[in-house]
Amino acid sequence: MYLEEEINKFIETIPEKIEYIDTEETTKISLITPLLRILGYDTADPRAVKAEYTADIGTKKLEKVDIAILIDDEPEILIECKKANDKLRKDHISQLYRYYNVTSAKFAVLTNGVEYMFFADSNNDGQMDNDPFLYIDLLDASKKDIKELIRFSRSIYDQDKLYSSVEVLKYTTLTKEYLENQINDPSDELARVIGKAVHDGVLHHKRLDMFKEIIPSVFKSIIDDRVEKRLQKAIRETEEETEEKIEEVEDEKKRDSNEYEKKALEILKEILSDVYDPNRLFLRVRKYHSRILLDDNQYKTLLILYFNNNDNFKIGLVDMDRKKDNGGLMEDKKNINNVNDLKYYETEIINSAKKY
């Protein structure tokens, strides 16, 4: 958690720094080495981090790689640096590629201090992959990205574990890139596959163009629906947390259950005996109402009782198919004459309870 916070604090400083960075060397000093220090590497110790690292092949000296992270005096991670405002391109990896292939390094990184491309040898043939297995843009980094970055920190660095996940990460990155391109500009191939799956007729050119036109909006609709569901879930959880806090406050105002609420619990155990073990049903009493819960879990409300006013009995039938705008429980309130009237709503209670 500490590392995640430190990295996020560092990321917040990047935009104001970039404005003053106009050379590769300044990029290294202002952006790259500070992040290495946060990750636990002693950039002042040449036994741990070496700038302008040179690998020799026989009598031939290669050009220098910008930074090498050393373990037991051997290069473990090679870092090629570009200027902060230079967009990373695959043709930037040529020098990194030559170095990787003649050293014992397991990982190579191409970075401009903001974007980071991580490379390895997923085929285990001694040749660095042309495609990165991991890409992180610090200014658009997700929590997952930060966690992947932390795996390279000195304190938890594990070459074998990292290396074993390279292939999965590589193809995850490539698949994501491919799908993003397809969402924005669907290929004829994708349009043809989807068209054949949903259309029985001939896929003539005009119809193929139609599918290419609607595919981006369909993708967007799916993504929007998923975002909306996650948002509603977050709202619901917040509502439930608020409700829980309110109930905690109301604990001080709790009253003893009355005979009608106890009777209602016994009736509900009888109604639901074929659905749940009766021992799983509990009565939770509050100042103005009470609830019959499954497993004594407030998020599993089976029935709401308004029995604190002896002249006006009401029950709240929980509607599992509907939610309030804020994600809270919907209930269908019913007036009843006495507690035995619960049996008139046996079907509704059973159907709702089964949905847990």
Enumerate the domain spans of the chain: 2-180, 194-248, 259-354
- How far apart CA 110 and CA 131 sit, in angstroms, is 11
Q: What is the DSSP string of 163-189?
A: HHTHHHHHHHHHHHHHHHHHHHS--HH
**Which tokens is 222 given?**
């799916």
- How far apart CA 1 and CA 17 sit, in angstroms, is 25
Q: Which of 141, 77, 139 is nearest to 110 (CA)?
A: 77
- How far apart CA 255 and CA 274 sit, in angstroms, is 31
Helices vs strands, H then E, count in the chain: 11, 13
- How far apart CA 48 and CA 74 sit, in angstroms, is 9
**Which tokens is 197 given?**
């799956």
Q: Is 151 exposed, middle or buried (0-12, 13-18, 19+ CB in 10 A)?
A: middle
**What is the reported pLDDT for 273?**
92
Other CB atoms within 10 A of residue 88 CB: 19
Tens digits of per-residue pLDDT, 93-118?
887 888 888 888 899 999 999 999 99
**Which tokens is 28 given?**
């290294």
**Could you tell me which residues are beta bridge partners of residue 273?**
none
At 78 the three-state DSSP class reads strand
Compute φ and ψ for 266, nearest 5 degrees: -65, -40
Place of tokens 């495609």: 131
Place of tokens 């110790």: 45
Q: What is the DSSP string of 6-20?
A: HHHHHHHHHHHHHTT
CATH class of 2-180: alpha beta
Other CB atoms within 10 A of residue 77 CB: 21
At 30 the three-state DSSP class reads helix
- How far apart CA 288 and CA 325 sit, in angstroms, is 23
3-state class percentages of the chain: helix first, strand second, coil last, to nearest 5: 50, 20, 30
Tens digits of per-residue pLDDT, 276-313?
999 999 999 887 888 999 998 888 899 999 987 766 78
Given a contact cutoff of 8 angstroms between Cβ atoms, the answer to whether 330 and 323 are in contact is: yes
**Which tokens is 21 given?**
């960075």
Q: Is 196 exposed, middle or buried (0-12, 13-18, 19+ CB in 10 A)?
A: exposed
- How far apart CA 24 and CA 1 sit, in angstroms, is 31
Q: Which of 181, 80, 191 is nearest to 128 (CA)?
A: 80
Q: Which of 82, 80, 26, 76 is nearest to 49 (CA)?
A: 76
pLDDT in tens, the chain (356 residues): 688 999 999 999 999 999 899 899 999 999 999 999 999 999 999 999 999 888 665 555 666 789 999 998 889 999 999 999 888 887 788 878 888 888 888 999 999 999 999 999 888 777 898 888 899 999 999 998 999 999 999 989 888 888 888 878 878 878 888 888 888 888 888 888 888 888 888 888 888 888 888 888 888 888 878 877 777 776 666 666 656 665 555 554 566 778 889 999 999 999 999 999 999 999 998 878 889 999 988 888 999 999 877 667 899 998 877 766 655 678 888 999 888 989 899 999 998 888 88
Predicted TM-score of the model (pTM): 0.56
**Which amino acid would we find at residue 8?**
N
Compute φ and ψ for 10, nearest 5 degrees: -60, -45
**Which tokens is 217 given?**
């909006």
